Every structure is written in structure tokens, then in C-alpha cells.
Amino acid sequence: MMKKIFNAISVLAAVLLFVACDEVSVDKRLTYVEPSQVARAVLIEDYTGQYCVNCPRATEEIERLIEQYGDTTVVAVAIHSGPFSKNKGELSPLYTEVGDMYFNTWGMSAQPIGLIDRLFNSLPFSYTDWAGGVNYEVSFEAPVDFMTDIDYDKETRKAAIEVQTIGLDQALVSGKLQVWLVEDSIDSFQLMPDGSRQEHYNHMHVFRASVNDPWGDDVSVAHGQVATNSYSLTLNPEWAPEHCSVVTFLYDVDGVKQVAKKKLSIKN
């Protein structure tokens, strides 16, 4: 958004310079536009498993929160990991090693369980407490915003991803920029709260891969500045690109500062 605003102002300044009789000084050709505040979004990391009978209850809570706040305010990622993604030594189809690394790093002891904006002084959260965590986090202003451009090539299944981090806070904002690929509408089995096995459960917000380093890249932006990071990822043949999105967030030791989700644009 910042880049587009500056481009528009630059064009207008050029037109005025062309039609004016007197020369316009350089410092008056471009007017600085104050970056506006954006709504705070909240990241829910749902550590789940296909062999977890209570995990569908956590999924229901996520959908309720999305319905209440909107899908741009609540960004959920279902990370299949831990003991309930394993059965007699076999891994579930949605399990990832990176997700399991996160599960072990945060010291998870049960499932379903999750993190709300990685609030380090109170993690992890039971899904019954997620509503309170979301309600608390949305009360703050976002110190950064994101513009994410995704160029997906159907032939090569390669996604070129550019993330612009825009500084909105008056102070310097520093942290780790994390970029994940998630997939919705995956048809696979799930154990249910009544103990039954549902063969065609609709899995949403499923973590597929970390586009960049699993712990992110260092990013710092001052007020009004833009930091640009470029990445690429080749989608697994089993992933449906029309159901994939890129989740971007910036975090530090105090938690997640802002998160955004953008779908892959599939061109004909």
C-alpha cells in the first residue's frame, strides 16, 4: 500500500511540474504520507493430530472465532504434530517434521493445545482459553503491516513470494519474519470425539511448509519504512494450489506483532 501511494503521488507531482510555469523545487515535488494504523490480526497455532479425538473440538472453536472476528482478524494454522499424529510408528498424512519440531520446542504436553500470538508469558493455551487470548490481542494496534505478492507458475508449481513489511510504529520494530504455506479443504481421516473414525473429514488451515527458515529471518523497520524479502517454494504434487495460502507474521520474544494471510492467485 505504501509503495502504491508513493507511486501515485510521484505521478501527480510530475504532471504538475510539466504544466506549471515556474520550476518546482525538489523538496516540494513529493509529499510524505503518514502510514495509517491497521487492524490487529491474531495468530492461532493449533497443535493438532488426526488421531486426537478431542482435536475437532478445537477446530470448531477456531471456526467460531473466525465467524466472530473475521478471517482477516483471526488467522489459524493447524500444525499436525506430536503423539496424536503418530499411530503404531506410522505418521499421519498431514504430519510434518517442522511442525513436530515446533511442538517439541514449545514443550507441548497434550493435544489439542495451541499458541495465541506466541505470548511467551502464558503459553501454551488450552483451546477453551483461545477466545480470551484473541479478545486480549485484538485490543492492541499493529506496529507493522504486510503487502504480499505471490506469482504462481502452474507448469513448474513454483510460487515466487515477495513480502513487504511496512513500519507503522513510531519506534523501530524488529523481529523475525516468518512465512508459511497452509492448505485448506483437505479430505482425509480424523478420529472424532465419540471415538469414531471419520474417513472424509474436511481439514482446514493445515500447515504444509515453512517457506523461509523455520524460525524466520531478521527484519527491522522504522516508522514509514518498507523492508522487502523475496522467497520461492515449489509445491508438493499432492498439494492443491487453489486451496493454498501464504501466512506471514513478525514475532519477537514478546510474541507476534502482526499476521496476514493471502491466497495463491492461480492464473489461467
CATH number (domain holding residue 125)? 2.60.40.10
Evaluate whether residue 24 is within a structural domain.
no
Mean pLDDT for the stretch of residues 106-130: 87
CA atoms of 148 and 36, how far apart (whole Å): 18
202, containing H or E segment: strand 197-203
Residue 234: give the domain boundaries. Answer: 42-263
Evaluate whether residue 100 is within a structural domain.
yes
Mean pLDDT for the stretch of residues 196-223: 98
The predicted pLDDT at position 15 comes to 32
pLDDT confidence tier of residue 192, bands split at 50, 70 and 90 = very high
pLDDT confidence tier of residue 121, bands split at 50, 70 and 90 = low
The predicted pLDDT at position 203 comes to 98
CB-count burial class (<10 Å; 0-12, 13-18, 19+) for 161: buried
Evaluate whether residue 23 is within a structural domain.
no
Number of domains composing the chain: 1
pLDDT confidence tier of residue 36, bands split at 50, 70 and 90 = low
pLDDT at 33 over 90: no
Evaluate whether residue 30 is within a structural domain.
no
Evaluate whether residue 118 is within a structural domain.
yes
Other Cβ atoms less than 10 A from the Cβ of 47: the count is 30
On average, the pLDDT of the chain sits at 87
The predicted pLDDT at position 21 comes to 33
pLDDT at 20 over 50: no
* Residue among 118, 138, 131, 139 nearest 65 (CA): 131
The predicted pLDDT at position 176 comes to 98
For 56-74, the pLDDT digits (tens) are 999 999 999 999 999 999 9
pTM: 0.85
Evaluate whether residue 14 is within a structural domain.
no
Evaluate whether residue 18 is within a structural domain.
no
Mean pLDDT for the stretch of residues 46-52: 97
Evaluate whether residue 60 is within a structural domain.
yes
